[in-house]
Amino acid sequence: MATEAEPAAGRTSAVRDWASGCLDEIVDDLAVLVDTETPSTDPVLLAAGAAVLTGWVLETWTGSTATTLGAGPGAVLQVDAPGSRDGTVVLLGHLDTVFEAGTVAARPFTVTDGVARGPGVFDMKAGLVVGVYAVAALDALGVARPSVRLLVNADEEVGSLGSRSSLVDAAAGAEAVLVLEPGAVAGTVKTARKGVGLWTVTATGVGAHAGLDPEAGASAVHALAALTSYLAGLADPAAGTTVNVGVLTGGTRPNVVADHARMEIDVRARTDAEAARVTAALAAWRPADPRVRIEIAGGWNRPPWSTPAPGMVARAEAVLASLGVAVDPREVGGASDGNILAAAGLPVLDGLGASGGGAHAEHEHVVVADLPVRIALLAGLIAPDGS
């Protein structure tokens, strides 16, 4: 058991060594989670996956309790592990993946040459494993820690629209929110994420024969083509603002002036000011032909996050240094539910899951040898002053 006199570096090394000693068990648990498919769009599989996850966490965290917040696609699993000192740390994750049912049958969980592969292994089944084992390690080594609240939703990959209010309410008052989204290398932490704005624009024009009576028509396609060019001009790479028209459809035939068109827009912004600028500019746009009517739906799915928990990056640097690993702080363009909790005024540090790469892709993977380091990092952030 660790003692008051034992330095923090010794505690961190002890956690890493403990995790290394049960690495086979860790990988086995990861295999179960990956091979339990949880597509965002399949409520039956999500419910089954939540049951598997709940049973495993309750078995691993002695004395913990579980409850479900909300219902349906927006349900949030909450597991509380009481601590031996005051305060609560939130571990934030998600169960859903972008991969459809049947993907596991085509490429189930495997480990080859120290690399784990499978749908959702990196984003973010391995992050859930890191979170659960970090708490288990602290308890196995007798390290004092605050209470830990694990929050796991099942609609993160589709925007967390149903779960965000439950997440904010359940995390209220936490001394830190540690997000189990993946890193890149052993020392990665994520210190900022851009906000994400998603809009759909629908244009309704006036149909006409493109050869016999073109002047009678008002092209919805031409209008949204002009809007595409306008939106491209709103991007400001120097400020970190990107604008992407990812979908543009409309019309019926080349000889018909299009009476309908539709586009989907993705905007990323580093600051609230940039988010507001793009929002206002989109709202102000009007088609050159007043006969074309437009409807704009959407908004900021997740706000920008640019302020990590005070002192948390330095703490991560110290923990990693004690393990001989350099900290790798990153700002990334993708958003997470950490953005939502940061906007609610909570102190957040992100990217504390597994190291690896290929999120949302067939080559998604996790570096198995880094798992004990990532578990030790998270444990050191949960209980920096434990004894």
Please indicate, yes or no, if residue 260 is contained in any of the structural domains: yes
What is the model's pLDDT at position 10?
A: 82
> Residue 233 corresponds to which amino acid?
G
Q: Are residues 257 and 334 in the same domain?
A: no
SS3 of the chain: CCCCCCCHHHHHHHHHHHHHHCHHHHHHHHHHHHHCCCECCCHHHHHHHHHHHHHHHHHHCCCCEEEEECCHHHCEEEEEECCCCCCEEEEEEECCECCCCCHHHHCCCEEECCEEECCCHHHHHHHHHHHHHHHHHHHHCCCCCCEEEEEEECCHHHCCCCCHHHHHHHHCCCCEEEECCCCCCCCEEEEEECEEEEEEEEEECECEECCCCHHHCECHHHHHHHHHHHHHCCCEHHHCEEEEEEEEEECCCCCEECCEEEEEEEEEECCHHHHHHHHHHHHHCCCCCCCCEEEEEEEEEECCECCECCCHHHHHHHHHHHCCCCCEEEEECCCCHHHHHHHCCCCEEECCCCCEECCCCCCCEEEHHHHHHHHHHHHHHHCCCCC
Q: Are residues 134 and 219 in the same domain?
A: no
pLDDT band, very low/low/confident/very high, at 4 (cuts 50, 70, 90) = very low
Contacts of 92 (CB under 8 A, 6+ apart): 151, 167, 171, 177, 178, 179, 180, 337, 338, 341
**Residues found in the chain:** 387
Neighbour tally for 294: CB within 10 Å? 18
Q: Are residues 97 and 64 in the same domain?
A: yes
Q: Are residues 230 and 82 in the same domain?
A: no
Residue 386 has pLDDT above 90, yes or no: no
Please indicate, yes or no, if residue 387 is contained in any of the structural domains: no
Percent of the chain predicted with pLDDT > 70: 97
Domain final residue, candidates 286, 302, 318: 302
CATH of the domain at 254: 3.30.70.360
Total number of domains in the chain: 2
Please indicate, yes or no, if residue 3 is contained in any of the structural domains: no
pLDDT digits (tens, 9 = 90+) for 277-298: 999 999 999 999 999 999 999 9
pLDDT band, very low/low/confident/very high, at 7 (cuts 50, 70, 90) = very low
pLDDT digits (tens, 9 = 90+) for 227-259: 999 999 999 999 999 999 999 999 999 999 999
pLDDT digits (tens, 9 = 90+) for 335-357: 999 999 999 999 999 999 999 99
pLDDT band, very low/low/confident/very high, at 27 (cuts 50, 70, 90) = very high
Q: Are residues 76 and 174 in the same domain?
A: yes
Q: Are residues 51 and 165 in the same domain?
A: yes
Q: Are residues 148 and 241 in the same domain?
A: no
What is the model's pLDDT at position 1?
A: 33
CATH of the domain at 135: 3.40.630.10
Please indicate, yes or no, if residue 95 is contained in any of the structural domains: yes
**CA 273/CA 205 separation, integer angstroms:** 33
Please indicate, yes or no, if residue 2 is contained in any of the structural domains: no
Q: Are residues 208 and 183 in the same domain?
A: no
Please indicate, yes or no, if residue 267 is contained in any of the structural domains: yes
Q: Are residues 234 and 314 in the same domain?
A: no
Domain final residue, candidates 273, 302, 331: 302
Please indicate, yes or no, if residue 1 is contained in any of the structural domains: no
Q: Are residues 189 and 213 in the same domain?
A: no
Domain final residue, candidates 280, 302, 324: 302
Q: Are residues 187 and 108 in the same domain?
A: yes
Q: Quick one: average pLDDT of 163-192?
A: 97
User: Which class for 212: exposed (0-12), middle (13-18), buried (19 or more C-beta within 10 A)?
Assistant: exposed
Q: Are residues 289 and 342 in the same domain?
A: no
pLDDT band, very low/low/confident/very high, at 3 (cuts 50, 70, 90) = very low
The range of the structural domain enclosing residue 200 comes to 195-302
Tokens of 120: 């959702």
